[in-house]
């Protein structure tokens, strides 16, 4: 009897998966699965013969030249995890506005839209008057296009204006957020869920130092992570976000969609609560090599979906 096929979809930049995922094929093989790896936009791949397709190192999906093609491709794959409806929703960070309306605290954000046709002066007036702030496009992956700037430094503020205008000129919404000092003090926490169940958590060191800029779409910044047990408060808050995500997705797709993987990034608000920074459901780094249980948990989660 032929083994069920699982194809791990990646990008041309990671033809053999990224380093964190490279042990996954062997773990799947140990569970009676025939693992394969394929580049999502390789014209020679027949995705109708790919079995269950799991999104992994598709980090180029948000690039302007790939974005529409990637979303169209997801609709051609018979069994894609996460589901194409999830990809559509999560590919644009406007989803944060939807979660905020559901009562999930998010980082206060000024949204600059291309159709506003803002002048440089108008962009300038929408930046904070003091402190550090972050400028990033609403469609991005791996921190591409993100910069940290200082409001009262003329050179830094000018760079922020130019970078925002650059993204707006490419038709991308720009997010302007005050930089949270809690990130420097405590870092970010990522909660990773498989099939709706919390698997593990990691703490991420600060990445946006005061002069950090990543304007080029090719730039990706490296994360420094440490696995740790989430506190009870972090766990409860993560559950709140997870339920909000599932409710939104179900409402949009009109079907019951179970997320294979879900990474929720949070940061302390300095007052005993948390802000949601990001939900990653497409190309999420899952820190499989950082937490002892992570790889086996993910392989088990995939096997559950294959053998259901």
Per-residue pLDDT tens digits for 261-288: 999 999 888 888 899 999 999 999 999 9
How far apart CA 291 and CA 143 sit, in angstroms, is 22
Specify the pLDDT at position 210: 53
Q: Give the rounded percent of residues in the chain with a pLDDT score beyond 70.
A: 93
Residues 6+ apart with CB under 8 A from 213: 146, 147, 148, 159, 163
Question: What is the mean pLDDT of the segment spanning 3-30?
Answer: 97
Specify the pLDDT at position 283: 94
Q: What's the whole-model pTM score? A: 0.91
Mind listing the pLDDT tens digit for each residue in 131-188? Answer: 999 999 999 887 778 899 999 999 999 999 999 999 999 999 999 999 888 777 767 8
Q: Which two tokens stand for residue 202?
A: 């990691």
How far apart CA 240 and CA 247 sit, in angstroms, is 11
* Domains in the chain with CATH codes: 5-89 (3.40.50), 109-178 (3.30.1490.20), 181-305 (3.30.470.20)
Residue 222 has pLDDT above 70, yes or no: no
Q: HSE on the CB side for 193, CA within 13 Å?
A: 24
105-120 core/surface letters (b: 16 or more CB in 10 A; e: else): bbbebeebeeeeebee
Specify the pLDDT at position 118: 96
Specify the pLDDT at position 249: 83
Q: Which two tokens stand for residue 236?
A: 């409860």
Which of residues 307 and 214 earns the better pLDDT score? 307
């Amino acid at each position: 009897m032929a083994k069920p096929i699982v194809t791990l979809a990646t990008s041309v930049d990671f033809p053999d998966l990224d380093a964190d995922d490279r042990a996954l094929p062997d773990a799947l093989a140990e569970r009676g699965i025939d693992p394969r790896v394929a580049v999502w936009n390789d014209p020679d791949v027949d995705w109708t013969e790919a079995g269950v397709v799991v999104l992994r190192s598709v980090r180029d999906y948000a690039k302007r030249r790939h974005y529409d093609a990637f979303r169209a491709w997801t609709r051609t794959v018979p069994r894609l995890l996460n589901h194409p409806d999830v990809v559509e929703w999560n590919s644009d960070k406007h989803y944060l506005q939807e979660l905020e309306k559901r009562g999930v605290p998010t980082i206060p954000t000024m949204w600059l839209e291309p159709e506003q046709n803002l002048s440089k002066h108008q962009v300038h007036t929408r930046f904070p008057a003091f402190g550090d702030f972050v400028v990033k496009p609403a469609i991005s992956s791996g921190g591409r296009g993100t910069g940290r700037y200082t409001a009262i430094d003329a050179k830094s503020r000018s760079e922020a204006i130019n970078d925002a205008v650059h993204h707006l000129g490419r038709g991308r919404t720009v997010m302007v957020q005050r930089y949270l000092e809690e990130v420097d003090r405590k870092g970010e926490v990522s909660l990773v869920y498989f099939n709706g169940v919390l698997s593990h958590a990691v703490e991420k060191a600060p990445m946006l130092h005061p002069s950090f800029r990543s304007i080029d779409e090719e730039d990706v910044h490296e994360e420094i992570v440490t696995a740790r047990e989430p506190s009870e408060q972090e766990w409860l808050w993560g559950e709140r976000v997870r339920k909000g995500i599932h409710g939104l997705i179900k409402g949009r797709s009109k079907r019951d969609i179970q997320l294979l993987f879900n990474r929720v990034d949070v940061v302390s608000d300095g007052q005993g609560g948390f802000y949601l920074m990001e939900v990653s459901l497409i190309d999420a780094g899952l820190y499989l090599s950082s937490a002892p249980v992570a790889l086996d948990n993910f392989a088990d989660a995939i096997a559950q979906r294959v053998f259901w």
